[in-house]
Amino acid sequence: MSRVAGRTDWAEEEDEDSLQLPQQTITKNRDGTETIVSWSIREDGKKVKTTRRIKKTTIKTVVNPRVAERKQWAKFGQEKGKPAGPQTDTTSVAENIVFRPSANWKATTEDKSEDAKKKASLKDAKIKCRICSGDHWTTKCPFKDTMAPEGVDSTPADLGLDAPDQAGALGGGSSSYVPPHMRGAQGGGGGERMGGKFERDDLATLRVTNVSDQTEEQDLREMFSRFGHVTRVFLAKDRETGLAKGFAFVSFADRSDAATACEKMDGYGFRHLILRVEFAKKST
């Protein structure tokens, strides 16, 4: 973009400008990604620099020879002469959509609309369960009958969650506000149960920690059902990313099955991590 100093010919200059768009540059980064910098002139005459960082992964699939042949067809119509690969003007990738089929879909969404207002008012507040750190109220926790809240004496150290979770927890007991750092010292007060008196058979529930974030509930169900009838699997997931948070609860119909599973699965290597399995602690 060196401009000759002292040039006065404006017509020349104009021409020069449009020619002066830098070439597209592709830089290979060390982590295997590519940075593509391209220049273009917008309709209003402004020069636009577009920087894209692309990671290429080769996915090999075996296809029917007919399909492979069609892949080689020359483009025609409006696409005639265009290079291979999707064109940015017609093809783009939309935002990620989480689609998880569920059996009681209707019931769950109706619930949602009911307290939609309530939720909206609390939109900015971070909701975190004190029992399992899931993104729901402690009262709605599927393990409220089974588990003691975190931070009380039964909190395992290996979860590595303490102060921030406590601070984030909302809606404590029925009495007046107790500052987070005092909650532990309440002597069982932190464990006061919300919701009904309904007691689940918590003796046959296992807590599985150090679970890979790519895990699905189905994987756990498959792994654990070989020891007996699994009544329930709960995998804590991050609301935004949908990735597993690293721990799960597995309930068995029978306690002896749970005991075998606990024994066999503790230290089992799943994905790249070693599972830790223990009996879920009973709430106070």
Partner 1 sequence: MRPILLSGHERALTQVKYNPDGDIIFSVSKDHVICAWFSHNGERLGTYHGHQGALWTVDVSPDSVLLASGGADNTLRLWEVQTGKLLKTWDFPTAIKRVEFSPDGRQLLGVTEKRSGHLSTIVVYEINPDPAAEQTNEQSLRIVCEDSKATVAGFSYLAFYIIACHEDGSVSQFDAKTGELLFNTQAHETDMLITDLQWSQDRTYFITASKDKSAKILAADSLEVLKTYTTDTPLNSAAITPVKDYVILGGGQAAMDVTTTSARQGKFEARFWHKIFAEEIGRVRGHFGPLNYVAVHPQGTGYCSGGEDGYVRVHHFDKPYFDFKYEVEREREQQEQANL
What residue ranges bind partner 1 (CB under 8 A)? 63-64, 66-67, 70-71, 73, 75-80, 84-87, 89-97, 99-103, 105-106, 216, 218, 225, 229
Minimum distance, C-beta of residue 283 to partner 1, in the bound complex (Å): 26
DSSP structure class, residue 144: T
Structure letter (DSSP) for residue 79: G
Least separation in angstroms between CB 112 and partner 1 = 12
| Closest to partner 1 by CB, 90 or 176 | 90
Q: Report the residue number, 27 or 105, with the smaller CB distance to partner 1.
A: 105
CA distance 42 to 160: 51
Closest distance of CB 56 from partner 1, Å: 13
Burial of 162 (0-12, 13-18, 19+ CB in 10 A): middle
**Residue 57 Cβ, how far from partner 1 at the closest point, in Å?**
13
Alpha-carbon gap, residue 71 to 74, rounded angstroms = 9
First to last CA, the chain: 74
Q: Between helices 255-265 and 217-225, what is the axis angle to 10°?
A: 110
Q: Which is nearer to partner 1, 104 or 175 (CB)?
A: 104
Q: Which of 273, 271, 258, 266 is nearest to 219 (CA)?
A: 271
Taking the C-alpha atoms of residue 275 and residue 266, their distance in angstroms, rounded to an integer, is 6
- Residue 250: CB minimum distance to partner 1, A: 15
Nearer to partner 1, 2 or 102 (CB): 102
Smaller CB separation from partner 1, 153 or 222: 222
